[in-house]
A and B are shown apart, each in its own frame.
Chain A
Amino acid sequence: GENVEQHPSTLSVQEGDSAVIKCTYSDSASNYFPWYKQELGKRPQLIIDIRSNVGEKKDQRIAVTLNKTAKHFSLHITETQPEDSAVYFCAASGTGTASKLTFGTGTRLQVTL
C-alpha cells in the first residue's frame, strides 16, 4: 500500500519568513495530493491540493509543488503569520477505493513573533 513520509516533524519560523514542508510517497499510481491544516482538537481543514497533471499550484500565500518522477511534493507558505501555527498533514491517494487517503506523520509549525 501507499506510504507517505513527511519532514520536518516540527518547524519554527519567525513571522514573515517562509515555511516549507516536504513529503514523499511510494505508490507511483497516486494522483491526488491534498494538504490539511489541523488545530488542536479540531478537524483537518483542506488548505490546498494538487493533482498529478500539474506541477505547481498557488493560492495566495500557499503553494504546492509536485515532482512525480521523484515522488515528492512540498508545501510552501510565504509571509507566515502567527495564525498559521498548527499541525500540517500531507496526504496521497490514487486509483482504487474512492480517494482513500494516506496521511503523512504531520508537521507542527510554530510561527513566532
Chain B
Amino acid sequence: GAVVSQHPSRVICKSGTSVKIECRSLDFQATTMFWYRQFPKQSLMLMATSNEGSKATYEQGVEKDKFLINHASLTLSTLTVTSAHPEDSSFYICSAQSGQVNTEAFFGQGTRLTVV
C-alpha cells in the first residue's frame, strides 16, 4: 500500500510553546488529509479535514486558532499546536487519501506529544 510518513514520532515541549507535526504522502498525491487525536485507551477522534490549497474544515469543538493546519502541496500537510498546554498531550495521527471517494485511508505512524 501507499506510504504516509509523519514526523516527529515523539516530541516533548514546554507549556506555552508551539509544535509542528508534518504528514507526507511519499508515493501518491493526497488531495485530502485528515488529522486525528487519540487519548490513551480511546478511539481516534477526527480533528480536521485538510484539502490541498484550501482552508481546513474543523470538527465541532476543535479550536482552529489553536490547531493550525496547512496543506500547501499534494504531498504535505502540517499541524501546528500553538501555545501548547498539558491537556494537549496526546497521540496525533494523520491519514491521507487520493482524490477518490471512499478509498483506503493510509495512516502516518503518529506523533506522541507530551507537554510539560
By a beta-carbon cutoff of 8 Å, the part of chain A in contact with chain B is 31-32, 34, 41-46, 49, 51, 89, 93-95, 97-106
Contacts and interface: CB of A to CB of B under 8 A. Distances in A.
Interface of B: 1, 31-32, 34, 42-46, 49, 57, 91, 93, 95, 97, 99-105, 107-110, 112
Please indicate which of the listed interface residues A34, A41, A89, A99 has the most CB atoms of chain B within 10 Å of its own CB: A99
Chief secondary structure at chain A's binding surface: loop
B102 A44 contact: no
Contacts of A103: 43-45
A31 B43 contact: no
A75 B103 CA distance: 19
A95 B43 contact: no
B73 to A, nearest CB: 17
A106 B107 CA distance: 17
Contacts of B44: 44, 89, 103
B21 to A, nearest CB: 14
Given A43-B93, A44-B44, A98 B101 contact: yes
A32 B49 contact: no
Given A41-B110, A106-B43, A99 B103 contact: yes
Please indicate which of the listed interface residues B46, B57, B99 has the most CB atoms of chain A within 10 Å of its own CB: B46
A35 B111 CA distance: 22
Given A89-B44, A106-B42, A106-B43, A43 B104 contact: no
Contacts of A102: 46
A97 B34 CA distance: 11
B42 A43 contact: no
Contacts of B105: 34, 46, 99, 101
A45 to B, nearest CB: 8
Contacts of B101: 95, 98-99
